[in-house]
Every structure is written in structure tokens, then in C-alpha cells.
A and B are shown apart, each in its own frame.
Chain A
Amino acid sequence: MMKRLSLTNRVKLVLLAAAIGFGVAAPYIFSSFIVGLLSLALIAGLFAMSIDLLAGYAGLVTLGQAGISATASYGVGYMANKVGAGIPAQLLVGIAAGLVASAVFAAMAMRTGGVAFIMITLAQGMIVWGLSIRLYQITGAENGLTGIDRPAFVSEYWQYYYFVLTVVLICSFLLFIAVRSPFGSSIKGIRESESRMRMLGYNPALQKFYVFMVSGFFASVAGILFVYLNEFISPSAAYIAASAIGVLEAILGGIGTLIGPMIGAFIIVYIQNIVSTNLERWPTLMGLIFIVVILFARQGIVGAISSGWRRWLESRGPSGPGTAGRDPSDELALDSS
């Protein structure tokens, strides 16, 4: 641990510290509306990261992730609105519902990959959406469920913001560990070559099941944070558009980078909620941004920055401190390549 940190990692640590410092100070700087949006962006970011775990690391693009997070949200909403249970029961049922949905989805999708996986997850998400519209007694259909109160100790918007910030930081840390663990390596192996992994003694289907469950867990956490943020849940949260936005956020920020989806989520939330009040054609702006990213930065924003950074390091030559170029500890650059 006494090893000198590379320049890249030092920059990353400073940026991380700055981001956390900004995150902690935000409620003192901004209005309640902006703080609410920051909470939303953090939750959307966690959701997009859960997609990134599947899409970026396991190579399994999902279009049904909102089905899982919405199931967790509905679990909370049902216990709060229809049963009138306390917070522990709400959380328990919420996370259990999300995990059961993940398990069922994973069992159905674990033997597929590529386009077949996309289609199956798409159908799964739409099933949840369809059920949320049909099961009036549980979901309240289009009207949704209201009367979902936050726990008392985070009832104020800024308290809830800190709560979200803490939970998202912990989840990000767990995800960070997960993708660097042997488990993370094994799922990256499956992305690269399933047959080779089978030769090495892995069961790719089982590995996919596990990664789906892990991803589903974090999506459920995002769903639960979301339902307490809005204190409301309706079928639109399970609709394909919600899943697709998550995937787009991941792509915009940079697939397979974990931090990228978080950045993508902040950009999308900003456009949807702030730009939209001044610019009636905000969806056009969003479309243009996507086109520009796809045309000029296929690795997403983080991918583009990290490859630009690498080029700059190389142009500095090997004399600089922290030995530039293909630094093995330069995970950011490696993952997005």
C-alpha cells in the first residue's frame, strides 16, 4: 500500500473528493428543487450503473431493468398504501419483490445472450408494465399509488438527499469492488468468450444468473429510493421508456466504466428538468447529444475523456511522474477500451 500512486489515480482521487465534497455541500448552495433533482440524478445514476454491470461488464444489454426497479417500488407502495405497514415491512417487501422479479427474469434469460437477451428482457419489462396496469387491487392501475411517506428521520428533502447520497455511495463502492473481484473478472470473461470460460470450468449460464441478481439488487435499491423520493409510483416507472433511458444514460456516460452511467444520468436529468422549462424542443436537444456522442465518442463521455487523457500522457513522454501510457492500475482507461 505504500506504492506511489500514478498520476491518473491521483487525478481520479482528487476528482472523487471534489465530487463528494460538492455532493455534501450541495444543500447549502442550491434550492430545494435542485437538491431534489440531485437526489433524482443520484438514483437514476445508481439505476444506470446496475444496467452498466450487465451491459458493460457481462455484455448483456437489458431493456427490462425498469421492470425490476418498479417491482421493488410497487412492493414498497403496496405495503404503504394498501396494507399500511411500517417502514421495515415496506423495505423488506420492496427488496424481496425486486429480488424475486430478478430471479424469475434471470432464470428466463440466463441461457441467452446478444439480441435474444435484449428481446427477452424487453418482454419481461413490458410484462411488469402490463401487470401494473391490470392488477388494480395491488397497483392502483394508471392512477398509481400515493400516500407513501418517507421514513420520519429523512422526511425533509435535504435529509432525504443525504440519505440517498450515502446509499448511492455505498452501492457504488460495492459495485466498484464487485467488478474488480474474481467474480467481476469471470463475468468480463463471459463477455469476451463464453466458450473459453466454459473450457476453464465456469458455467456461463450460472454466472449470468448471478450477475443478473446482483444487478437486480442494485436496481431494486434504486427503485426503493425513487419511490420514497416521489412518494408516488405509477406504471410509467415500469414502461420501456424508463428502461431505455437507463441504457441511454449508460451509453452516454460510457458503458463499462461505472462512473460513466452516473455522469450520463446527471446530464439527462438536467436536460429533462431544467432545460425543458426554457426549451420546448428539449427532446430534440437530447437526440442531438446522443447522435454527437455516438458519432464522435463511441466510448461515451468518460471513454472519450480517458482516451484523451491517455493520449496527453503519452505525448508528455515517459519522463513524467507516475509513468504514463498503459499503466496497469489505470482501470478507467482499460475498462473503456
Chain B
Amino acid sequence: MTKRLMRTIAIVAVLALVLVACGTPGGDETTTTTAASGTTAAPTTTAAGDTTTTEAMMECTEPIKLGLLQPLTGGLAASGGDAKDGFELYWETNGLTAGGCDIEFRVVDTAGNPDTALQLVDELVDNYGADIIVGELLANVTLALADRLKDKDVIFMSPIGSADDLTQREVDTYPNFTRAGGWTSSQTSHVLGDWAYKEGYRNVATICTDYAFGHEMCGGFTQVFTEAGGTVVPAQQLWNPLGSTDLGTYVTQLDGFGVDAVFALQVGASVSDLLNNWTNFGLKDSLPMLGGEVMMDVSNVRNVPAEQVIGLISSGHWAEGLEAPATQDFVAAFDGAFDRIPSYYAAATWTAAQYIQESIEAMGGDISDRAATLDVMKGLALDTPFGPSVLDEYGNPIYDIYIRQIEERPDGRVWNVVIDTYEDIDQFWPKTAEEYLAQPVYSRDFQGNAGG
């Protein structure tokens, strides 16, 4: 009996080896094999491998496929849900066609985990056959995705994940990446640094979340503010861990510094905690708080008692109270569909969808040449919910950046209205690209502080 079993196992094993010798698994997929496959010496006998997919797409027998990756469960579910809703609403409103081609898309849940995102993006690219990938919310997941997709035959768009270097020092690493509809972290806080100095603030302390996004937001503010002549004492730059929900001790420290104002950038649950402490320690009316974009985003402040946030100032490329038709049409449509004022997450994926539709239109429905499609995208000048948008040569938008103040609407809800506008701000402003790229990316150690 044992002998017969051993024989069976041996036969299975031999059969398996024969199978291995006979051909390359997955040879019938057109999208998976990369340039490296020529050197692996695997015998490829499978026929019907390289069907002419490009010609098929030109006649639009197959729809153009998009994949959206967002965290729909876990701690970021609310923001990720906004991003999903904005994307879906765009296609519902404007129709799933462009350039005579049908468009279809799939939304997948990353749960905010880079490892999960990497597995799911393989499925979207290799199996589903996505032409364009849009994702993710977190900068670290976006970086991981950009790295995975850089050799694949897709276009990767990141309207939310805002890690600076993707369109700066590392731009050549990711040739198929574009930030259409997105932003770089420090792009909006540069402007706030300038505005704060002109407003008369001279000494500012900062409290930012201690990770790449916080470093970049804080660095953007600190560099422009100190180079304008303001002072940020390095010891008065506080860094709290990601996810802190008791910021009371930080708030008492900030109170003791005797500064003119505080620049703050928190995310998630830390936002309401900081604002709550700010009010409880009586600082709301005595020590001005200047917020980084995401912190004062409507997705955060709509969960906070209105009296804690009314009057607070921040800068951003998104201002839901902007009096422009494209913005207010979008706000009204989103509010009508989901009964809430859209956050920048929703505006971002909506705008990304707008870029996708317009560039497919401009390419006449054939986006198989990814590089040409990206070039066309860079040539578009769109009127988006963010305001007028064009892309710089690095693939990052040039926007109007708004100084925003939180105001109560007649219906009792709060939103950001525009009190000042900096027109046509690129990611390097106020420096030139050459000057800016000569310095390292912002980190805890490098805040670009002119005073030390």
C-alpha cells in the first residue's frame, strides 16, 4: 500500500516537472511579462500570447478600464469613502464614455495597508487589465504603488497621496506617474508661510504629526516663513506621534512659548483632540492657529463642535466655499447625492476623473500610448472644482492656492471660504525648480529654517 502511494506521488511529481518543462505559466496573459523575461531562459511554447490588443482598443471593442484604490474600511474609511463617492459621482454625472469609447472602473479596498494595496493593484493591472490606476490616500501607500507600477503598462494617478518627491527629486523614477488632480504636501503650506509673515506674525511655533506628510507640511510653512524674515525656533517645533489622541501636554507647551501664532497639522482623530484642547485651554481667542490643508478640511471639521472651529484659518488648493461655478456646481451635486459638503478627497478624485475623461477625449479614445497620453494630459487646461488647473512639466498641478477661513453656513454647517488667493502657485513657489530641487526633501532634520 505504501509502495503504491509512493508511486502515485512520484507520478504526480514527474507529471508536474513535465508541465514545468513544457511552457511558461501565464504565457497567455499579455500584460504581465516584463522586459526581464527574455533573460530567464524559460521555454515559451504557448501560442496566442501576444494578441494585438492595441488595435482592438483603437476600434473601442473593449472599454477603457480604470482602477481606484482607496481605504474603505479601517480608520481612514470616512476619507476613503469620500474619495470613492467623488469618483463615482463624476462618472454618474458626466457619463462613462470618452472619445467614442466606453469606460468602466473598479473600486477596491486597501484598508490603508500598503501590502494589501500591492496585492490588489496586481489584480487590477494583470487580471482586470486596467489602463489607468487612481490611488491611494496615504503617502506611504502611494509611494509603494508608484514603485510597483513604474515598469507596468499603465498610467498611475495620485490625486490625494501627496508625497513631495514623486513629482520632484524622484520624478524620473516614475515615468508613468502624474499628479493630475492632486498636490504636493508643501505646495499649500508655502503660501501660508508667506501670508503669515505679511499678516504681521513674527514668531511662530509648530505642532505637526511626526511622519513624512507632517514633516513636509511643516517644512513648507517654516521655510517660506523664516526666509521672509519670521522666526521659528527649532525647539518650538513639536512633533507628536501619528494617532495621538491626548495632545493636552503639547498644548500647554505651545501656550508657554509666548509666540504670535501656531502652525498645526494633524490628521485623523488627532484633529478633533487638538481643537478640543485648544478651546478647553482657552487659546481659541488668544493664540491664532494656522492650519495645514488637511487639518481644516471639511471631512475633519464637520465632526467638531462648530464653535471650536469657526474663524480658524488655513491654506489649501481646495476651498469648498470658493465662489466659482465649477466649485459650487460640484458642491451642490455632491451635497445633493450624499447629504454632506464634499471634502478635498471627493474633489480630488472628481478632478482626476475629469482629467481622465478629457485626455481620453483628446487622444480620440486610444490611450495605448501611455507616454503620449501623459503628454496630452500635461497640455490640458481645465476648469476644475479646485479652480483653473494646468500641469507643470513634472506632472504636478499649478493651482490657485487659497487662504481659507472656516465660516458657518446659513444651514448651520461649517465650511472653508476664501479670504485671500495666491494665483498660479506651482510646487516650488516661491523658489524656482532648480533652486528648490537642490535642497533635500523636508524631514524632521531639514525644515528649511533660515534662522537655524
Contact = CB atoms under 8 A, between A and B. Distances in A.
Contacts of A28: 19, 23, 25
Contacts of B8: 14, 17
A152 B115 CA distance: 22
A277 B120 contact: yes
A235 B452 CA distance: 31
Interface of B: 1-2, 5, 8-9, 12-13, 15-16, 19-20, 23-26, 29, 32-33, 36-37, 39-40, 42, 72-73, 106, 108-109, 111, 113-116, 118-120, 122-123, 126-127, 138-140, 143-144, 147-148, 163, 211-212, 241-242, 443-444
B144 A31 contact: no
Contacts of A237: 115
Nearest to A161: B25
Contacts of A283: 73
A1 interface: yes
A12 B133 CA distance: 45
Residues of A contacting B: mostly: helix
Residues of B contacting A: mostly: helix
B148 A231 contact: yes
B114 A234 contact: yes
B140 A142 contact: yes
Interface of A: 1-2, 4-5, 10, 13-14, 17, 20-21, 24-25, 27-28, 31-33, 35-37, 40, 133, 136, 141-144, 146-147, 152-153, 155-159, 162, 230-232, 234, 236-237, 272-273, 276-277, 280-283
A307 B25 CA distance: 39
A157 B32 contact: yes
Contacts of B23: 28
17 contacts: A14-B5, A20-B9, A20-B13, A32-B29, A33-B122, A37-B119, A142-B140, A143-B143, A146-B147, A152-B40, A153-B40, A155-B36, A156-B24, A232-B147, A277-B108, A277-B109, A280-B72
A276 B127 contact: no
B225 to A, nearest CB: 24
Contact of B139 (A1, A37, A142, A272): A142
A276 B242 CA distance: 27
Contacts of B108: 276-277
Contacts, number: 139
B73 to A, nearest CB: 6
Nearest to A21: B12
B119 A5 contact: no
B366 to A, nearest CB: 25
Nearest to B74: A283
Nearest to A276: B109
Q: Which of A143, A230, A237 has the most CB of B within 10 A?
A: A143
A173 to B, nearest CB: 14
Contact of A158 (B26, B113, B116): B26
A144 B116 contact: no
